[in-house]
Amino acid sequence: MDLDLDGLRVRTLVAGDADLVVEATRAERRPALWGPRPAGPYSQDDARAALRAWEAEQVSYGVLDGPRLVAALGLMPSGPGAAELAYWVRPERRREGLGRRAVRAVTAWAHAHAGLTRVWLEIDPDNAPSLRLAESAGYRYEERMPRHCRTWAADDPAQDVWHDCLIWTHEASGRRR
């Protein structure tokens, strides 16, 4: 992927982009796109490991404003024609409409060029910004899955606390629910 989003560039992230991830997560205090750890700024090693892990089975895309990474999105295949979409905007650039623009663009690209008929989101019911973004980007609420998502309070799934998740979907034109 390499898209022009009204002056922003959206492109696939690769292992060599670790510097961008380190710079973009400097002000983060919670988990970023690539997983529950670290919950905060990424070191070079964290960034290299995360990008390598994503390259194996999933794809992460960066939104660049000039030389800086301002947002990242990830597509995680989940069966024929379907993938989960995850997103993150760097803390200093939230509430500028970046998330909505990027989610709309990557969703449209996924339908048109990646052969995906269904793109879906998994959202914590307490994540008001993400819920608002999902609706604003044209996704539809589908269902609540009880105790489906981890809080990552513990590494062992059996010891972890699990919470409900809300599933939102976007289907290719003519197939939206």
Ligand X SMILES: CC(C)(COP(=O)(O)OP(=O)(O)OC[C@H]1O[C@@H](n2cnc3c(N)ncnc32)[C@H](O)[C@@H]1OP(=O)(O)O)[C@@H](O)C(=O)NCCC(=O)NCCS
d(CA 8, CA 97): 12
Q: Residue 15 is which amino acid?
A: A
Asked if 169 is part of the footprint of ligand X (rule: CB under 6 A), the reply reads: no
In angstroms, give the least distance from the CB of 141 to ligand X.
13
Pick the stretch among 4-12, 18-26, 47-55, 129-137 that binds ligand X (CB under 6 A).
Answer: 129-137
d(CA 17, CA 5): 20
Measured from the CB atom, the residue of 115 and 136 that comes closer to ligand X is 136
Asked if 43 is part of the footprint of ligand X (rule: CB under 6 A), the reply reads: no
Among 14, 52, 92, 97, binds ligand X (CB under 6 A): 97
Asked if 8 is part of the footprint of ligand X (rule: CB under 6 A), the reply reads: no
Pick the stretch among 1-9, 35-43, 82-90, 105-113 that binds ligand X (CB under 6 A).
Answer: 82-90
Asked if 144 is part of the footprint of ligand X (rule: CB under 6 A), the reply reads: no
Burial state string for 116-131 with b = 16 or more CB within 10 A and e = fewer than 16? bebbbbbbeeeeeebb
Among 136, 140, 144, 164, binds ligand X (CB under 6 A): 136
Give CA separation, 35 vs 65, 86, 98, 151, 164, in Å: 23, 10, 21, 11, 18
What is the secondary structure of 69-136 as a DSSP string? EEEEEEEEE-STTEEEEEEEE-GGGTTSSHHHHHHHHHHHHHHHHS--SEEEEEE-TT-HHHHHHHHH
Measured from the CB atom, the residue of 6 and 174 that comes closer to ligand X is 6
Measured from the CB atom, the residue of 115 and 161 that comes closer to ligand X is 161
Q: Which residues bind ligand X (CB under 6 A)?
A: 87-89, 94-100, 123, 127-130, 132-133, 136
